[in-house]
Amino acid sequence: NAGVTQTPKFQVLKTGQSMTLQCAQDMNHNSMYWYRQDPGMGLRLIYYSASEGTTDKGEVPNGYNVSRLNKREFSLRLESAAPSQTSVYFCATGGLAASTDTQYFGPGTRLTVL
Amino acid sequence: AQTVTQSQPEMSVQEAETVTLSCTYDTSESDYYLFWYKQPPSRQMILVIRQEAYKQQNATENRFSVNFQKAAKSFSLKISDSQLGDAAMYFCAYRSNAGGTSYGKLTFGQGTILTVHP
């Protein structure tokens, strides 16, 4: 039982390059989330998926796209990376029922855009 | 929109002493959850404690307890008998339970860095 996994752990991109961050969970949770963490700002929600087949924008969606491939996987894509997207990215999962309202986080991906 | 504020960027405590981390939030909702997450240098986000807004009793988890003041919109974390392993960044977070487009999403505060001195 791996919980929430993210790949890669580290990535360096040049401005304008594209890449996809992968997230997978084996917790059978319906909802999945992508957050970014910048110094002094806490975590901010980029996109989320309440269930397979649905995605919605969060607080800071510009410059990103997401795909909920199936119940287990939720990917985040940067089409044309910018230095402002240098950050640590976290994937999280959680249920919507009161008994499963805790979100569980992956280990994060540290992305640097030069 | 909900906001969460942690007014203490850094706190320090002596090992075995008690420390309290502050958190305030702003919301017009009555049904929500509040959380404290711990982030050690490994960056892993670890749930410390959670509180349901409809429960008046303050949540406790071993050495961790909260002081939840709903009317004041305050949610502080008390760590008793502090240990070196408690050193980390601590985040306060809000989660609506009201349904609609905000359902399930966490809103985080800026974080408080806790240092534990031996």
Q: Report the residue from A40, A88, A96 with minimal CB separation from B103.
A: A96
Chain B contact set for A98 (CB, 8 A): 97
Single-letter code of the amino acid located at B15: E
Contact A58 B105 (CB under 8 A): yes
Chain A contact set for B107 (CB, 8 A): 45
Beta strands in chain A (DSSP E): 4-7, 10-13, 19-25, 31-38, 42-49, 56-57, 64-68, 74-78, 87-94, 104-105, 109-113
Q: What are phi and psi of A35, to 5 degrees?
A: -120, 155
pLDDT digits (tens, 9 = 90+) for B66-103: 999 999 999 999 999 999 999 999 999 998 876 665 56
- The answer to which of A31-40, A64-73, B59-68 has the lowest mean pLDDT is A31-40
- Chain A nearest-CA residue for B90: A42
- CA–CA distance from A92 to each of A35, B34, B60, B77, B106 (Å)? 8, 17, 24, 23, 10
Cα B105-B111-B115 angle, rounded to 5 deg: 145
CB pairs under 8 A between A and B: 60
Contact B95 A101 (CB under 8 A): yes
pLDDT at residue B8 in the model? 96
pLDDT digits (tens, 9 = 90+) for A16-27: 999 999 999 998
Chain A contact set for B33 (CB, 8 A): 101
